[in-house]
């Protein structure tokens, strides 16, 4: 009877491992809302960042060809910067 009961009640290491998985998943979800990487196959193409506790987000994108040099304010809340192979967008709101 003791053997059967022992197999039905999870051991402390199993509970700790389960708790670790829950914490890991919660952290991944929290970080995933603020950071994201974009890629084409194995080649990285962009990075998205949302600053915590603000309405500010940033997008960086790199291109195999030069996108030129410059600055633009398309919608009033977005600012775009072109730096050769890198394009950055900062958005507020």
Length of the chain: 93
21 and 65 belong to one structural domain: no
53 and 79 co-located in one domain: yes
Per-residue pLDDT at 6: 53
What local confidence, expressed as pLDDT, does residue 64 receive? 83
| 4-56 tens-digit pLDDT | 555 556 677 788 888 889 888 888 777 777 777 777 787 778 988 888 888 88
Residue 40: both structure tokens together? 């084409």
Reported pTM: 0.57
Q: Which helix (H) or strand (E) holds 6?
A: helix 2-8
If one counts the domains in the chain, the total is 2
If asked whether residues 62 and 93 sit together in one domain, one would say yes
- The whole domain housing 88 covers 34-93
pLDDT attached to residue 30:
75
């Amino acid at each position: 009877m003791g053997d059967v009961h022992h197999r039905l009640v999870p051991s402390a290491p199993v509970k700790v491992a389960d708790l670790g998985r829950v914490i890991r998943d919660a952290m991944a979800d929290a970080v995933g809302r603020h950071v994201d990487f974009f890629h084409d196959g194995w080649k990285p193409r962009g990075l998205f960042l949302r600053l915590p506790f603000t309405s500010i987000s940033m997008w960086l994108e790199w291109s195999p060809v030069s996108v030129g040099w410059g600055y633009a304010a398309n919608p009033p809340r977005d600012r775009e910067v072109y730096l050769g192979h890198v394009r950055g967008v900062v958005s507020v709101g």
